[in-house]
Amino acid sequence: MFEESEGCLTLREDVYVISDEAHRTNYLHQKTDRSGIIKKSFGLIIREALPNANFMGFTGTPISKKDKSTREVFGDYTDVYNMAQSVADGSTCPIYYESRGLRLDLDESVLFELDEQCAELLGIDEEQSLKTQKRIGRLGSILGAEQPINSLCVDVVNHYENHRSSIATGKAMVVAYSRSIALSIYKKMIELRPDWHNKVRVVMTENNSDPEDWRSLIGNKQYREELSREFKDESSEFKIAIVVDMWLTGFDVPSMATMYIYKQMVGHSLMQAIARVNRVYPNKSGGLVVDYVGIAPALEEGLNEYASGSAHTSDISRTAYPEFVKYLEICRGIMFGWDYSIFLNPEATDLVRSECIIKGANFLSDVSRLDEKNRFIKHVVLMRRNRSICGSILTPEQRAESAYFEVVRSLLIKVGSTSDTATKELSQSIKDLLNAGVKSEGVIGLFEEIGGYSLFDPAVIERMRSKMGDHLMIQLMSREMESGLSDVVRINLAKSELFSERMKGIMEGYIKGLLASETVIQMLIELAQDITDHKNQGVYMGLTPVELAFWDALNRPEGIKAIMTDEVLIALTRELTATLNEKKTVDWNNKSSAKASMRLLIKRLLKKYKYPPDQSLNTTEFVLKQCELWAEGVS
C-alpha cells in the first residue's frame, strides 16, 4: 500500500503506526540511481504519507549510527528491557566469554595483521561489513589457511569433548568466517573424529557455483529444514552445527550452551548471534562464547549498548573462575578432618580412589555432621555450575579435586534417593571423573554395585558395610528400608503402622546418639527380615497381598488367634475381600450411604464367622479404613 502511494495520505494526528522489529526498514533516507530515479526508503514513504502520525517501535536490537538510528526515527526510549535485566529476571542465562585465539599458533606478525584488520572491521558501518570483508581479502586468507584451520579444529574438538559435551544436551555452534572455511572446518573435524559424521553438520545455503564436492554436504532447502528439526531434538546425535550466517538470528535451541566464534562480527549482528546460547534450560548455568578471532572489543561495545555496561563481567577468568575457587575452598573447609589427598595422587590405584570416595561420603554421613553434609551438598552444586563454564582454564589439580567433591556429593545423593535424577547425577559425576583424568574402573564398578544389590540379603549387607563404613551404610539401608516399607504402607494399614513405628524408633535412637551404629545396623537387618517374613507368610497361606492386608486387619486385636483358628480366619479373609470387592462402587468411600452399606457387610461377615463380639466394633472400623486405603488405588 505505502510503496505504491505517493505523497500525503492524511494530515490527521490521531493515526498510530506501530512497528515491530523497528531496526529493520524504518530509516529515513533516499538514493538516486544512475538513471536519475529517486529511491526512497520504506520508512520515508510512510512518513510522507502520514506526516502527523504517532510512531511507536519495538525492537530487540536498536541500531545507532549516522544514517540509520532507531532512536532518531522513533524518539527516545519509552521503556527498556535489556540483557542485564533479562538475566536478573531469569528470562535468559548469563553469557560468558573465553578467549582462545592464541591456540591458533599464529606467529606475531600474522597476529598483528589480524588484529589491525579486525580493528578496521569494528569501526565500519554494519551494512558495509560484507563488502569490507571482501575488500580485506587478507583476513579470509589468514583464517582459511591450513595451519590455523588445523589448530582451530584440534582445539575445538578437545575443548568440546573435555569441557562442553556434557553441558545440557551438548549442543554447540561453530561460526565460520566464510562458506569455504566452514567446509574446511567440517572436513578437518571429521578427519580428527571419523565417527562424528552424525554429530557434526554444515548448515548454509547452496550456490549454483559451488564445487561438486560441496553439494552433498550442503544439501537443499528440504535438507536444511530436516537439520533444523534434528538439531532442536534434544536426543538427536546432531550436536555441533557449523554455520556462517544461517541460524545466527531467530533460531532457538534452549539447551545449546556453547558457541565457537571464528568470524568477526560487530554490533547487533554479534549480539543476536551470541544470544543463541543464552536461552534458559534446566541445569544450564549459562552460555559460553569461545573467541578465536579477537571479538572482545566488539563484544564489550555491544554489551555496553545492549546490556547497560555489563561487558566487563562476561570473561570467565573474572567471573566464573573466582566463583568456582570460592566454592572449592568452602568445600575444602567442610571436609576438614578427612584427608583425601591420596585421591589426587596420579599414581593412586582404582581401589585406593574407590575407598577414598566412600570414606569421604561416610565421613559426611556421620549424624553429628548433618549440617555440614547439607552445606557440602549445596556448595558443590554452586561449584559445579561455575566449573561448567570455566572448566577449560582450571589446573589439573583443581579438576581432580572438584571432581572428587562432585562424586562424593553424588554418592551421598544416590545413597539417599532411588530417583532417576540421582542415578543420572551419579552418571554425570563418573563422566567428570574421567574428564578430570581419573580413569578409575574400580570407582565405576562400585557405583554399579551400590545400585544393584538386595537389602534383604545379609551377606551382601555385610560386604557392603565393610566397604562403606557404618554411617553411609545406615543411610543406604534406611533408604532401602523406606522403599521396602512403601510397598506395605501402600496396601496394608495394620503392618504399615507397626513397621513404620519400629523404623522411626530405630532412626530416632541413631540420630539422638542413643543407639550405636552397629546396633542400628543389626536392628535394621532384623526389621528387613520381618518384612520379608511377613510377605512370605502371605505366600505360604495362599493369600494375595490385598487379602493379606485384610488378614492382618482381622488379626490386629490381641489374643484373637487364641479364639479363632487360622483356617477360619483365612476363610473369613477371602470371603471378606471378595464381597467388598464385589460391592464397592466408584467413589464409594466419599459417599456416606455407601460407606454405611460397606460397614453393614463387614459386621454381617464377622458375625457369620463368630468373630468375638467385644472386638467386632473396633475391627469393623479398622477393616473399613483398610478398605478405603485399598479403594484409593494406592497400589
42 and 118 fall within a common domain = no
φ, ψ for residue 226, nearest 5 deg:
-65, -40
Q: Taking 70 as the threshold, does the pLDDT of residue 359 lie above it?
A: yes
Q: How far apart are the C-alpha atoms of 267 and 277, rounded to whole Å?
A: 17
574 and 555 fall within a common domain = yes
Confidence of residue 25 (pLDDT cuts 50, 70, 90): low
| Mean pLDDT value across residues 516-545 | 85
Q: Taking 80 as the threshold, does the pLDDT of residue 181 lie above it?
A: yes
Confidence of residue 5 (pLDDT cuts 50, 70, 90): low
| Mean pLDDT value across residues 86-96 | 81
Let me know if residue 478 belongs to a domain.
no
175 and 200 fall within a common domain = yes
Q: How far apart are the C-alpha atoms of 246 and 144, rounded to whole Å?
A: 19
What is the bridge-based pairing of β-strands 16-20 and 54-58? Answer: parallel
359 and 388 fall within a common domain = yes
| Mean pLDDT value across residues 32-47 | 72
Let me know if residue 537 belongs to a domain.
no
Determine whether 204 is exposed, middle or buried from the number of CB atoms within 10 Å of its CB (0-12, 13-18, 19+): buried
Residues 286-340 have pLDDT tens digits of: 999 999 988 888 887 777 766 654 444 478 998 999 999 999 999 999 999 999 9
Q: Which of 403, 425, 452 is the last residue of a domain?
A: 452
Let me know if residue 339 belongs to a domain.
yes
Answer whether 481's CB lies under 8 Å from 455's CB: yes
pTM of model > 0.85: no
Cell numbers given for 11:
494530515
Nearest to 174 by CA among 147, 153, 205, 195: 153
What's the structural domain count of the chain?
4
74 and 131 fall within a common domain = no
Q: Taking 60 as the threshold, does the pLDDT of residue 466 lie above it?
A: yes
Which residues touch 294 (CB under 8 Å, ≥6 apart)?
Answer: 99, 101, 114, 115, 118, 264
184 and 71 fall within a common domain = no
What is the bridge-based pairing of β-strands 38-40 and 30-32? Answer: antiparallel
151 and 226 fall within a common domain = yes
Burial string for 227-240 (b: 16+ CB within 10 Å, else e) reads bbeebbeeeeebbb
Nearest to 365 by CA among 517, 529, 232: 517
Domain with 48, as residue range(s), is 16-79
Helix (H) or strand (E) holding 106: none
Find the range with the poorest average confidence among 23-32, 264-273, 475-484. 23-32
Mean pLDDT of the chain: 80
For the residues of 522-536, what is the DSSP string, one character each? Answer: HHHHHHHHHHHHHHH
Let me know if residue 518 belongs to a domain.
no
Cell numbers given for 461:
549387607
Amino acid identity of residue 562, one-letter, is A
Let me know if residue 196 belongs to a domain.
yes
311 and 326 fall within a common domain = no
Answer whether 390's CB lies under 8 Å from 320's CB: yes
Let me know if residue 487 belongs to a domain.
no
DSSP 34: T
For the residues of 313-345, what is the DSSP string, one character each? Answer: G-BTTTTHHHHHHHHHHHHHHHTTT---GGGG-
| Mean pLDDT value across residues 377-393 | 93
Q: Half-sphere exposure of residue 47, counting CA atoms within 13 Å on the CB side?
A: 14
276 and 380 fall within a common domain = no
pLDDT at 22: 65
pLDDT at 56: 85
405 and 548 fall within a common domain = no
| Mean pLDDT value across residues 254-277 | 89
Let me know if residue 477 belongs to a domain.
no
User: What spatial distance separates the first Cα and last Cα of the chain, rounded to whole Å?
Assistant: 67
